[in-house]
């Protein structure tokens, strides 16, 4: 290898194919992922195994698992440069998760915030998978020796437990796993609900506070026109103006403008004119993305071939790690 050649770091990330992806997912995750693909070895996954901790309609889960990857591609993620795959197509995720379960403490899992929240939300179905969910997430990351994991604040705790599990295993058996670091983009975009601008925009929101990537044009514009603002009239980014701050962030996310440029552009204009402009920009951008998405989805032969090829690439990398783990814990493997 050329001494000047830089070894690219590996990034792993995935989104659950449950609920409809929002512009928050697009601006906060997908758009950042597109920017990573030339500088890193990236694996982007549709994490369908995580989805079943909550009951799913099987046909819908199958459809959404494929649609998720089609959305990744429509957003600009190239399946030739990156490994795009469905989690359940690589059995090593579940296999490593079992081993890691035996190196994860009950107390660690019981302290996980997401488990507490989901247990309250789905009190009729507090299953073991919901409890051990962070271990499967650790397996997702550690299987590929990921150096970096893009995480939001809500996932930070999961990355911390992944690091703890990896260090514990390495401490017993020697250097086995890369200890992953969080990847924090230079410009982090946190998109808030349009109806409750102090809360993050959510895939499961049914109040009209979230804009889905696949929403119809009329619905996008209507939701943004109805967005909660404040009693003022100035379009400036400031404390106490959560609704306007959020709309400015959305506008800048889709146009590439800075907050200062947007403030100048709308100086002296009313909230109505501003909301209309934001709605049009978002609807235009998503309209083009939806057209690409529909083209990709229509070519079933290509999609299935891509899924098969990329699952094989992921499985090859995963098997290397799993074999090493199996050998270290003492599982007999015939030559």
pTM as predicted: 0.89
CATH classification number, 217-295, choose in 3.40.630.10, 1.10.240.10, 3.30.9.10, 3.10.20.600: 1.10.240.10
| DSSP line for 224-266 | HHT----S-------TT-HHHHHHHHHHHHHH---HHHHHHHT
Mean pLDDT of 83-105: 97
pLDDT, tens digit, 9 for 90 and up, residues 99-135: 999 999 999 998 888 777 777 777 787 888 889 999 9
Instruction: Give, in order, the Cα–Cα distances in Å from 251 to each of 78, 210, 246, 256, 281.
Output: 25, 15, 9, 8, 7
Query: Length of the chain in residues, anyone?
Result: 335
- Is the dihedral angle over the CA atoms 137, 75, 42, 27 positive or is it negative? negative
Confidence (pLDDT) at 120:
75
Q: Where are the domains of the chain?
A: 10-183+300-329, 217-295
Half-sphere exposure of 329 (CA within 13 A, CB side): 14
Q: Say which CATH topology domain 10-183+300-329 has.
A: Rossmann fold (3.40.50)
Rg (CA), the chain: 21
- Residue 153 confidence class, pLDDT cut points 50, 70, 90: low
Could you give phi then psi for residue 129, rounded to 5 degrees? -60, -35
Q: Using DSSP, state whether 43 is helix, strand or coil.
A: strand
pLDDT, tens digit, 9 for 90 and up, residues 7-60: 899 999 999 998 788 999 899 888 888 989 989 999 999 999 999 988 899 999
Closest C-alpha to 23, from 169, 220, 294: 220
Could you give phi then psi for residue 136, rounded to 5 degrees? -65, -40
- Residue 76 confidence class, pLDDT cut points 50, 70, 90: very high
Closest C-alpha to 209, from 222, 193, 224: 193
Q: Which residue numbers are catalytic?
A: 118, 200, 203
């Amino acid at each position: 290898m050329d001494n000047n050649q830089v070894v690219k770091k590996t990034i792993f990330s995935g989104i659950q194919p449950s609920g409809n992806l929002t512009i928050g997912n697009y601006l906060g995750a997908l758009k950042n992922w597109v920017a990573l693909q030339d500088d890193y070895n990236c694996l982007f996954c549709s994490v369908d195994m995580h989805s079943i901790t909550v009951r799913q309609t099987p046909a819908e889960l199958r459809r959404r698992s494929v649609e998720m990857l089609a959305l990744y591609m429509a957003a600009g993620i190239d399946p030739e440069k990156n490994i795009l795959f469905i989690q359940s197509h690589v059995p090593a995720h579940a296999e490593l998760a079992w081993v890691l379960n035996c190196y994860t403490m009950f107390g660690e899992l019981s302290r996980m915030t997401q488990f507490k929240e989901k247990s309250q939300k789905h009190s009729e179905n507090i299953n073991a998978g919901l409890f051990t969910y962070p271990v499967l997430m650790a397996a997702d990351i550690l299987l590929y020796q990921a150096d970096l994991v893009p995480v939001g604040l809500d996932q930070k705790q999961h990355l911390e437990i992944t690091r703890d599990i990896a260090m514990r295993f390495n401490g017993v058996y020697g250097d086995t796993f890369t200890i992953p670091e969080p990847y924090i983009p230079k410009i982090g975009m946190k998109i808030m609900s349009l109806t409750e601008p102090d809360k993050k925009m959510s895939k499961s929101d049914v109040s009209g506070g979230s804009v889905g990537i696949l929403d119809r044009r009329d619905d996008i514009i209507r939701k943004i026109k109805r967005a909660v603002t404040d009693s003022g009239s100035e379009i400036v980014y400031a404390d106490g103006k959560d609704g306007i701050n959020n709309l400015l962030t959305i506008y800048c996310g889709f146009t590439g403008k800075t907050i200062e440029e947007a403030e100048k552009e709308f100086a002296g204009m009313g909230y109505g004119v501003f909301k209309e402009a934001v709605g049009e920009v978002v609807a235009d951008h998503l309209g083009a993305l939806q057209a690409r998405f529909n083209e990709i989805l229509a070519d079933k032969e290509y999609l299935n071939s891509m899924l098969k090829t990329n699952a094989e690439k992921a499985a090859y990398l995963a098997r290397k790690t799993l074999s090493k783990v199996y050998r270290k814990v003492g599982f007999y493997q015939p030559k």
